Chains A and B, each alone.
Chain A
Amino acid sequence: MHTPTSYDRHQFRLGLVKTFPLALGAVPFGLAYGVVAMRTGLTVAETVVMSLVVFAGASQFMAVVMIQSGAGIPLIVASTFLVNLRHLVMGLSLSPYLSELTSRWQRVLAFGMTDESYVTSVTHYREQNEGQGNPYFMLGSGGSIYAAWAVASFLGAIAGHSISDPFKWGVDVAMPAAFLTMLLPQIVSRRVAAVVIVAALVATASYVLIPGKWYIILAVVAATASGMVLETRAEKVSQP
């Protein structure tokens, strides 16, 4: 990691700012996690350290609920692994933009890769269209979510009982709204629109039917396959 240039610092700030609506959207989830963890019997330290070290909202929620129902470590860890499998797809999708970075950079950025920082960074790198992505952008993006998650977990843990339902404020729509504003500008062709429709249908159906985060993986596989089929068809038509 070289000394950051002013361009790097600009990219870092841009990462922070662009991820801010999503960080804001993560706050009610962090508060709720803190409340549930304390009710489960975790201490404030255990609640916050889990956020700082694991840094994975869905897994942490699942873990505290499982602790409450009496599950042991092996089952919780195995479930955590399954919930997090989607990160493999995200890492693969980001890897072409990070291929010229040192492995040290890659290891640092990987720690901060969440649903939110992944979509923000990959969208930014695609828009930039420079092939390689500036690591400081993703550092800022991941840092933004990390700070929000840690602070919200802490507040949920210490002030849990006095917080009225955090989902009542309307911030719970901030997350899907921010994702939507990133999605819409990317629908530039009929083919991408078709891919989005397939992803939307498969994701919604499997979200309702299958527990866990499998809906994301299933949607990616189905939608990507449809995209490739449409692409191959278009090529065949255009060839004489």
Chain B
Amino acid sequence: MRPYYVLLILLMAAVTYVSRVGLIGVARQLEIHPLLRRSLEYVPVSILAALVFPAVFAPAGKIEMPFANIYVWASVVTGGVLLTTKRQWLAIVAGVASLVVLRRVTGA
């Protein structure tokens, strides 16, 4: 381990940890304003949507035509299987499998 990279890693670790620990304990120390608390209800779905949609509609960093985009179809399969069977695992496996098949078929 070269000292230069040890220093880089430690500083990166420090700023990353600060961002993680910064507000995680905030509700223990002070009362969160009711309005903020209510708005926090929307944070998980917003983050989930932000993690799903760009990855599906712009997999390579730019928006692709939805009908030609195999990630869109794999997501449709995932959602369809989830809604019909209510089984999360089956839905994920079906989504991954459909992408593999679509890739073979389309050569993408």
Interface residues, chain A, CB within 8 Å of chain B? 21, 42-43, 45-46, 49-50, 53-56, 59-60, 63, 73, 76-77, 80-81, 84-96, 98-101, 103, 106-107, 109-111, 113, 115, 118-119, 122-123, 126, 168-187, 192, 195-196, 199-204, 207-208, 215-216, 219-220, 223-225, 227-228, 231
Given contacts A95-B25, A119-B47, contact A80 B95 (CB under 8 A): no
- Complex: how many Å from CA A203 to CA B63? 12
Report B-chain residues with C-beta under 8 Å of the C-beta of A92: 23-24, 26, 40, 43
> Are B19 and A95 closer than 8 Å at their CB atoms?
no
* Chain A nearest CB, measured from B52 CB (Å): 5
Report B-chain residues with C-beta under 8 Å of the C-beta of A110: 17, 20-21, 24
User: Is B105 an interface residue, CB under 8 A from the partner?
Assistant: no
> Are A50 and B92 closer than 8 Å at their CB atoms?
no
Contact with A along B18-48 (1 / 0, CB 8 A): 1111111111100010010111111111111
Given contacts A110-B21, A204-B53, contact A227 B39 (CB under 8 A): yes
Given contacts A204-B57, A224-B46, A227-B39, contact A106 B24 (CB under 8 A): yes
From B22, B53, B59, B92, contact of A87 by CB (8 A): B22
Contact with A along B45-84 (1 / 0, CB 8 A): 1111111111111110111000000010011001100110
> Are A173 and B82 closer than 8 Å at their CB atoms?
no
Question: Beyond A106-B28, A174-B92: 12 further Cβ-contacts under 8 Å?
Answer: A54-B13, A81-B16, A113-B20, A119-B47, A173-B95, A176-B55, A177-B95, A186-B48, A199-B53, A201-B53, A207-B54, A208-B62
* Chain A nearest CB, measured from B53 CB (Å): 4
Interface residues, chain B, CB within 8 Å of chain A? 1-2, 4-5, 7-13, 15-28, 32, 35, 37-59, 61-63, 71, 74-75, 78-79, 82-83, 88-89, 91-92, 95-97, 99-100, 103
Report A-chain residues with C-beta under 8 Å of the C-beta of B15: 77, 80-81, 84
Given contacts A173-B95, A179-B51, A220-B47, contact A208 B58 (CB under 8 A): yes
Given contacts A81-B19, A203-B49, A204-B63, contact A220 B43 (CB under 8 A): yes
18 example contacts (A-B, Cβ-Cβ < 8 A) are as follows A42-B5, A43-B2, A88-B23, A89-B23, A91-B19, A92-B23, A92-B40, A95-B28, A110-B17, A119-B51, A174-B95, A174-B96, A176-B71, A179-B48, A181-B78, A183-B52, A192-B45, A216-B50
Residue of chain A at shortest CB distance from B86: A185
* Chain B nearest CB, measured from A149 CB (Å): 13
> Are B16 and A55 closer than 8 Å at their CB atoms?
yes
Given contacts A180-B79, A184-B82, contact A216 B26 (CB under 8 A): no
* Chain B nearest CB, measured from A235 CB (Å): 11
> Are A215 and B22 closer than 8 Å at their CB atoms?
no
Report A-chain residues with C-beta under 8 Å of the C-beta of B8: 63, 73, 76-77
From B13, B49, B61, contact of A53 by CB (8 A): B13
- Complex: how many Å from CA A84 to CA B13? 11
